[in-house]
Structure 1
Amino acid sequence: MKQIFMAGIGASLLLTTASFITNLPGVIPGRQINSAVAQSPQKQQALKLVLAAEKQILVKDQQGKQKVNWQALKGQAVVKPGDILRYTLTGENTSDRPLKNLTLNQPIPKGMIYILKSANFTGDAKITYSIDGGSSFVTNPTFKFTLPNGKLETKPAPATAYTHIRLQLPLIAAKTTVKLTYQTQVR
Structure 2
Amino acid sequence: MKRVYIATIGAISLMITAPFMGQILGVNSLFQLESAIAQNVNKQSQMQLQLVAEKQIETQDQEGKKIKKWEALKNQQVVQPGDILRYTLRGENKSDRQLKNLTLNQPIPKQMIYVLKSVDAPQNTTITYSIDNGRSFVANPTIKVTLSDGRVETKAAPANLYTHIRLKVPSIAAKSTFQASYKTQIR
- Short-chain TM bin: 0.7 to 0.9
Whichever residue aligns with residue 40 of structure 1, its letter is Q
Could you tell me how far apart the structure 1 residues matched to 2:33 and 2:153 are? 67
Could you tell me how far apart the structure 2 residues matched to 1:170 and 1:91 are? 14
Which runs of structure 2 are paired with 1:3-152 in the superposition (5 Å)?
A: 31=32, 40-41=39-40, 43=42, 44-152=44-152
Q: How far apart are residue 42 of structure 1 and its match?
A: 5.8
Whichever residue aligns with residue 41 of structure 1, its letter is N
Could you tell me how far apart the structure 1 residues matched to 2:149 and 2:99 are? 52
Identify the residue that residue 176 of structure 1 maps to in structure 2: 176
109-118 or 143-152, larger mean C-alpha shift:
143-152
Q: Name the SS for the 2:39 alignment partner.
A: coil
Could you tell me how far apart the structure 1 residues matched to 2:31 and 2:137 are? 52
Q: How far apart are residue 69 of structure 1 and its match?
A: 1.0
Q: How far apart are residue 138 of structure 1 and its match?
A: 0.5
Q: Deviations over 1:41-88 (max 9, x none)?
A: 364321101000000000111221111111100111110101110000
Q: Name the SS for the 1:41 alignment partner.
A: coil
Identify the residue that residue 154 of structure 1 maps to in structure 2: 154
1:41/1:138 CA distance change after superposition, 3 Å: closer
1:39/1:154 CA distance change after superposition, 3 Å: closer
Whichever residue aligns with residue 97 of structure 2, its letter is R
Q: Name the SS for the 1:160 alignment partner.
A: helix
Q: Which portions of structure 1, spanning 4 or more consecutive aligned residues, are displaced by more than 3 angstroms?
A: 29-33, 36-39
Unaligned residue ranges in structure 1 (runs of 5+): 1-28
How many residue pairs are counted as aligned between the two chains? 158
Could you tell me how far apart the structure 2 residues matched to 1:105 and 1:185 are? 19
Identity %: 58
Q: Name the SS for the 1:96 alignment partner.
A: coil
Name the TM-score, length of structure 1 as normaliser. 0.78
Could you tell me how far apart the structure 2 residues matched to 1:32 and 1:151 are? 67
Could you tell me how far apart the structure 2 residues matched to 1:96 and 1:179 are? 19
Q: Name the SS for the 1:120 alignment partner.
A: coil
Whichever residue aligns with residue 79 of structure 1, its letter is V
Whichever residue aligns with residue 156 of structure 1, its letter is A
Q: How far apart are residue 31 of structure 1 and its match?
A: 3.8
Could you tell me how far apart the structure 2 residues matched to 1:59 and 1:96 are? 44
Whichever residue aligns with residue 85 of structure 2, its letter is L
Unaligned residue ranges in structure 2 (runs of 5+): 1-29
